[in-house]
Chain A
Amino acid sequence: MTVDRDNDLEGQIAEWRAYMQRRRELQHTDAEELEDHLRSRITELSESGLRNDEAFLIAVKRMGSLDELSREFAREHSERLWKQLVLPGEPDAPTAARSRRELLVMVLCAAVAALAIKVPGLFGLDLSGDDAGFYARNASLFALPALAAYFAWQRRVGVRVIGVLASLFVLGALAANAYPLADDSQSIVLTAIHLPLALWLVVGVAYVGGDWRSDRRRMDFIRFTGEWLIYFALLGLGGGVLMAFTANTFGAIGLDAEGFIQSWLLPCGAVAAVIVSAWLVEAKQSVIENMAPVLTRVFTPLFAATLLAFLAAVIWTNNGIDVERDVLILFDLLLVIVLGLLLYAISARDLAARPGLFDRLQLALVVSALIIDVMVLVAITGRITEWGFSPNKTAALGENVILLANLTWSAWLFLGFLRGRMPFARLEHWQTRYVIVYAIWAWAVVLAFPLVFDFA
């Protein structure tokens, strides 16, 4: 009987402790200290003749309301409301050991990537000189294999997946280097742009631990990509400041650091930043609010307003779009931005939530982007025969069509959702499925375009 009661009490105390630890104002040691207090109080009350459960109730009551308690703790430890970055504070040994190990492997991967970009230098390929073309088309091959390796290690993927990853990277390396592409050809520029995209999706396979068929995991990778971009941009800003200071402080004592910056600091830092950003996203996943959805919230209304104003201006002034050669690229980028805004709104959305004002705005954004893009396409088709199908034109047009198809169907699904005919999950499903189209396209540009266009 007493054993039963003791177990009961332990259970209750454990529950109380778990409840305390959910408050981020209260750290592990605080909860431990309070628990010690609670136990002392219970012991005293039991000794005075109360039953265990009664003693527990009174002790908890005397501890004070949790809200009040956390408020006082927050007032004393306001820094805890700011989630602390870089090193996790939890003292439980297994978690700490694991995050230390992850940190170590991350540093190792970053170092490998940073050294890898210096290896071609040993064979006489100069980073800043004539071999810039080599570095441009191979840039992603220095950082992304290390990143994939990090995820492969962290997700403990099987040998089969590692084999697939390795062969895809080898394929990418072959495509970038085996074709006889001239440094000033269009194809080499296309490869330099599309190979990173293709390999990024390969990294995605490692990111999802080989489980690339799962829609949920693909969505995770999309979320990861958005956060990664933000961290990468932030690290880039910091790196810029570092370089400026390096150049100017050494300049002040009459030493020229430009060479060091250009051949070491910038390239090694950039590839290492790829890995560090990824690690930051992973380590901070549960700690910080995701930024990409926040930015999406801010910019969706602004972009929607801009596009609607643009449409209104086109109608009002009756000005056609001036179809220059680069206009397709501009509108490709516009579609990419609209797609990004859509994706990151989806990624953070509660799938069960009912349609709201923001969803209508989102639909307005997508539809106005579509209308503008159709106008551009109509204006451009007449002239495409005139230009002929160069690699650049074909790639730009193909991307436009791919994005247009995605957004058209998204708009349709969105409309169905707003009218209450379709669940929101359909839209998410469509987007995660569509990732495969991007992969096929990017690989096609890298592998097939040089052949189709005769290495132009």
Chain B
Amino acid sequence: MHITKDLVAASATPLVLGILAEGESYGYAILKQVNELSGGQLEWTDGLLYPLLHRLERLGHVESAWETPPGGRRRKYYRITDQGRAELAEQRRQWATVVDALRGIWSTTNSIKPIMAPAWEAGR
């Protein structure tokens, strides 16, 4: 299944904030976690996570620090701030509303007409 770009972009911020709310992390680990959480369905272009993290940092939702584990590579860790937690709560409320609305619409459309692949796609 391919998830559209717009949807990926819209869900990126709450996903990243949600992951960071569980504890500090770094880019690659965040990406892996997103991948696991979505069962491999949510595919991000790896590099684009970083501009997003930098934007969240500029907005004050997260803060970062370079850390060097003994014998390891220097790595940039991100940590959620209080403001970030507030933002996450706000995003949760918004998403809950959207999901509720969608659920409502799915149940009505389902009862009228089952989802069927359009004819022009069936032939592919």
Contacts and interface: CB of A to CB of B under 8 A. Distances in A.
A36 B58 contact: no
Contact of B74 (A36, A64, A69): A36
Please tell me the size bucket of the interface on B.
Answer: 10 to 19
B89 to A, nearest CB: 24
Contacts of A36: 26-28, 73-76
Contact of B45 (A29, A34, A63): A63
A69 to B, nearest CB: 4
B46 interface: yes
A63 B28 CA distance: 11
Interface stretch (A37-45, A106-114, A145-153, A438-446): A37-45
Interface in A59-99: 59, 62-64, 68-69, 72-73, 75-77
Contacts of B74: 32, 36
B73 A77 contact: no
A30 interface: yes
Interface in A12-62: 29-30, 32-34, 36-37, 39-41, 59, 62
B54 interface: yes
Interface string A229-255: 000000000000000000000000000
B19 to A, nearest CB: 15
A62 B45 CA distance: 6
B104 interface: no
Contacts of A30: 50
A76 B57 CA distance: 11
Q: In terms of DSSP, what is the predominant structure of the interface of chain B?
A: helix
B55 interface: yes
Contact of B46 (A29, A63, A73, A77): A63
A76 B48 contact: no
Interface in A266-305: none
A64 B47 contact: yes
Contact of A76 (B31, B47, B54, B75): B54
Nearest to A71: B51
Contacts of A62: 45-46
A81 to B, nearest CB: 14
Could you say which of A29, A40, A73 has the most chain B C-beta atoms within 10 Å of its C-beta? Answer: A40
A73 B55 CA distance: 9
Contact of A41 (B45, B46, B54, B55): B46
Given A39-B73, A75-B51, A33 B27 contact: yes
A37 B45 contact: no
A73 to B, nearest CB: 5
Contacts of A69: 47-48, 51
Given A32-B74, A36-B75, A76-B55, A64 B48 contact: yes
A33 to B, nearest CB: 5
Contacts of B51: 69, 72-73, 75-76
Contacts of A40: 28
Contact of A34 (B47, B55, B58): B47
A420 to B, nearest CB: 48
A41 B35 CA distance: 13
A29 B75 CA distance: 10
B29 to A, nearest CB: 8
B48 A37 contact: no
Contacts of B55: 76
Contacts of B66: 29
Nearest to B43: A62
A187 to B, nearest CB: 64
A63 B46 CA distance: 4
A293 to B, nearest CB: 34
Q: Which 9 A-B pairs have the closest CB atoms?
A: A64-B45, A72-B51, A40-B28, A64-B47, A69-B47, A63-B47, A76-B51, A62-B46, A63-B46
Given A37-B47, A69-B47, A76-B58, 17 more contacts: A30-B50, A33-B76, A34-B50, A36-B28, A37-B46, A41-B46, A62-B45, A63-B45, A64-B48, A68-B45, A68-B47, A68-B48, A73-B50, A73-B54, A75-B51, A76-B51, A76-B54
30 contacts: A29-B76, A32-B74, A33-B27, A33-B50, A33-B76, A34-B47, A36-B28, A36-B73, A37-B27, A37-B31, A37-B50, A40-B28, A62-B46, A63-B46, A64-B45, A64-B47, A64-B48, A68-B45, A68-B47, A68-B48, A69-B47, A69-B48, A69-B51, A72-B51, A73-B50, A73-B54, A76-B51, A76-B54, A76-B55, A76-B58
